[in-house]
Amino acid sequence: MMDCPRTNKRCFPLILVILSLTTMSIGQLPGTPIITGRNLTFQGKEGSLTCTSLGGNPAPTVKWFRTAALIDDILDTPKVPNVTRNTYNYTADISYNLAVFECRVHNAVLLSYLSATIVLEVYKEPNTPMLTASSPAVLSGTTNEWTCISTGGNPPPNITMRIGNSQLSTVLQQSAVQQSDNTYTVTSILSWAPNVSFDGRILYCDVQHKDTRGLNDQTASLLLKVIARIPVVTVNQSTYSEITGQSVTLQCTVSSPESILKSVLWIFDNGVSSNNITQSSNVTKYFGISTATPSLTIFNLTSADIGTYTCTATNTVGTGKSNLIITLSVEGNLLKVTIPEPSYSVLIGRGITIHCTVTGTPTQTNVTWRKVVNGVQTNVDINGNGRYSGGTIAAPSLTITNTQNTDEGTYVCYATNIVGTSNSQNTFLEVIGGVPNVTIVASSFEVQICNSITLECTVTAIPVVTSVYWTSNVTGQITNIGPSSNPSKYGGSSTLTPSLTIFNANFSDAGNYQCFANNSIGTGSSQEITLDVQG
């Protein structure tokens, strides 16, 4: 310190300069800002944030900023020595949620301000929830959606749904979407298929927000309207292909657990008209069509049954139709029976097959043959005649062995299936041949003694003649005669020359003569010839 005379006034400025330099040389940094106050608050609640800095020379400024914007620069009063404070008072708003509040401390000693921050969370109670249904009434067993929406809450609430005390959360789909105002819209969708037992019950939507309401849930409710279902009619097979004359059962099942089943009815459409088939329509044609037996049985199918069939059932709620329409086709007619030839011929004693073909569906169940005699049909007894065979389902043709004249006639082949019996066209069997036909040109001849004479005889035969012989009846005694026994007396009497020539006739040759011819069938004979010898 420089001593100055008290009377020397020029010393005062120097003293002031020295004092000023001394003060600057002992300036102090302010303390790091300390923020006190709750970082969690609720919508509409008043709160405060206090920022404190200790020391500092010169005394620092303490200011509040939000998003780099100054919101408060007024220091608390009264001041406390060596302590600088700024308290920011606010009324919480949802817009403050997750906002960053910054306290800045600065004095002339600092090159840059000191900073501290705090993030404020603001909780907000949700608005009253809304519960709606996608349909005011739901058909029993049909899935419907109920939507509960909670808005305006932070943090997002949790939503459950219940009937009475029975929770339905297992079928809930829940989503939360943050809005521009920092609140959440939470949507919970219940997908559910109630049955008629829930009709008139109340569905509750509970919104839990413990942060603002504790255990006091918000609740919305909706009265359930569940309508009993019409009968569920099920057909598993949509096409049936059947044979004419057979029976078929068109299967149908009916479920009506929630209402009394009153009746079953089938609708038949043949492409031209539609008709109802009920239990009493035709008891000989139809069976079933009842609440106990809803399936339809049709007997003795014909082409008139071809068409579509729909199974319907009625309860106290209404009428249900089958999920599928049944298409019924009926195939098959009378069989086609064919004999390829209009006539057949066979040598007597030989065998022959009269062919018969049977085509069509359903296949034959029986084959028979009939023979027309004098315009009257009689059954051919195949099993009772060893010469006959065939006439079966597997071998419908008729085979005759060792044919006889009695086999000749008109034949018809018959085949039967479940539709009925059909027949072929007629065919005629001609049996050719027999014993030789032996004829004479005259029944009496005269000859002069010692002359020769030929007793004329003609023979026709199928099969061919194997031998010819003659007999003579003289004075009642029948004798075989011919060249083989007396070639000098007789000539001819052969298969080539059946006539008999008698040489050198005498009175002992007078008598009756008869011509005979043999073939494989038997022996034919002529009428007798009387020979008179004169002289």
375: domain CATH number? 2.60.40.10
Residues 427, 347: one domain?
yes
Cβ distance 296 to 282 under 8 Å?
Answer: no
Which of 123, 155, 173 is a domain's end point?
123
Instruction: Kindly state whether residue 27 falls inside one of the protein's structural domains.
Output: no
Residues 137, 223: one domain?
yes
Q: What span, in angstroms and rounded, lies between the C-alpha atoms of 404 and 386? A: 13
Instruction: Kindly state whether residue 312 falls inside one of the protein's structural domains.
Output: yes
Q: What span, in angstroms and rounded, lies between the C-alpha atoms of 13 and 11? A: 6
**What is the reported pTM?**
0.50
Instruction: Kindly state whether residue 16 falls inside one of the protein's structural domains.
Output: no
Quick: pLDDT tens for 234-271. 999 999 999 888 899 999 999 998 889 999 999 999 99
Instruction: Kindly state whether residue 97 falls inside one of the protein's structural domains.
Output: yes
Contacts of residue 372, defined as CB under 8 A and 6 or more positions apart, other chains included, come to 409, 410, 411, 412, 426
Predicted confidence at residue 383, as pLDDT, reads: 87
Counting the structural domains of the chain, the total is: 5
Predicted confidence at residue 3, as pLDDT, reads: 41
Contacts of residue 68, defined as CB under 8 A and 6 or more positions apart, other chains included, come to 102
Residues 40, 113: one domain?
yes
Q: Which domain holds residue 263?
A: 236-330
Instruction: Kindly state whether residue 530 falls inside one of the protein's structural domains.
Output: yes
Instruction: Kindly state whether residue 275 falls inside one of the protein's structural domains.
Output: yes
Instruction: Assign residue 433 a region (left: φ > 0; alpha: ψ between -120 and 50; beta: otherwise).
Output: left
Q: What span, in angstroms and rounded, lies between the C-alpha atoms of 440 and 433? A: 20
Tokens standing for residue 360: 């069509």
Residues 426, 445: one domain?
no
Predicted confidence at residue 535, as pLDDT, reads: 83
Instruction: Kindly state whether residue 28 falls inside one of the protein's structural domains.
Output: no
CB atoms within 10 A of CB 19: 10
Give me the residues of the chain with pLDDT under 50, please. 1-25
Which of 207, 227, 247 is a domain's end point?
227
Contacts of residue 205, defined as CB under 8 A and 6 or more positions apart, other chains included, come to 129, 131, 146, 148, 159, 160, 161, 188, 219, 220, 221, 222
Within 13 Å, how many C-alpha atoms sit on residue 115's CB side? 11
Which of 98, 123, 148 is a domain's end point?
123
Instruction: Kindly state whether residue 10 falls inside one of the protein's structural domains.
Output: no
> Which pairs count as long-range contacts for 403-409, CB under 8 Å and 24+ apart, including other chains?
403/346, 403/347, 403/348, 403/349, 403/350, 403/351, 403/352, 403/431, 404/348, 404/349, 404/431, 405/348, 405/431, 405/434, 407/431, 409/371, 409/372, 409/373
Residues 342, 400: one domain?
yes
| Mean per-residue pLDDT over the chain, rounded | 91
CB atoms within 10 A of CB 238: 12
Predicted confidence at residue 170, as pLDDT, reads: 64
